[in-house]
Structure 1
Amino acid sequence: MCALCGVLGGAEHWADAHPRPGAFTRNTSPLERRRERARRVAEANRILALFGLKLSDWQGTAFRLATRTGKVELVGDLGHLWAAAERLLGRPLDPLDPVLLARLGPEA
């Protein structure tokens, strides 16, 4: 997405489901948008668990990322997830690392 579309698009992250008229989305009702958000959290947790991290929804407005030792960071949207994970762990992470993808299995 270009920067201008991001600015004109509103407060939501461009990848989040939203109810704006004219926007292409299959998640038109609030319940469908919450389900989609829960699916994204579950999928992110498949990867984050390999690093000892857990993501949870925080009131439908942000995400809570936590380590096993109790460090927590609030993340505004999934676009900022990996940077937050790197800060919490103190090392770089690559969610597309071939070794990591092999550990996730063929459905990754």
Structure 2
Amino acid sequence: MCGLCGAFGAPDHWSDGVRSGTPQAERRARAAAANRVLGFYGLRLAAWADRYTLSGRTGRSAVVDHLGALWPAAERLSGRPCDPLDPVVIAALEGQG
């Protein structure tokens, strides 16, 4: 999914569509999954109210409305490309079990 949803000011993101628990629990679960990848870039995502906060090791942080806005914000905070589909990242995640 591209970032086009955010360009039109859509309040919801497709990743918010499937719920098996409370919205807060679902956000925490999505943040935990994203953190497995974000850790490779020195970043951490936390569920906060109806949004997320993304923070780096230097103390910089950003508010992220939905997961569609996560990767551009991660690249701004880390100062380098953040690719969750990078074969090196995927191999490392698979090695973690």
Gapped runs of 5+ residues in structure 1? 18-24
Who wins on radius of gyration, i.e. which is larger?
Answer: 1
Structural mapping, 1:15-94, within 5 Å: 15-17=15-17, 25-27=18-20, 32-59=22-49, 61-94=50-83
* Deviation, structure 1 residue 73: 0.7
More helix by share: 2
| In 2: Cα distance, 1:12 partner to 1:35 partner | 17
| In 2: Cα distance, 1:54 partner to 1:96 partner | 18
Q: List structure 1 runs of 4+ shifted beyond 3 angstroms.
A: none
The structure with higher relative contact order (CA 8 Å, sep 6+) is 2
Paired residues, number: 92
- RMSD over equivalenced CA pairs, Å: 2.4
Secondary structure of the 2:44 match is strand
- Counterpart amino acid of 1:11? P
Residues 68 and 97 from structure 1, CA distance in 2 versus in 1: closer, same or farther, beyond 3 angstroms? same
* Deviation, structure 1 residue 26: 4.7
2:51–2:64 contact (8 Å) kept in structure 1:
yes
TM-score (norm 1): 0.72
- Counterpart amino acid of 1:82? W
Match of 1:96 in 2: 85
| In 2: Cα distance, 1:38 partner to 1:49 partner | 16
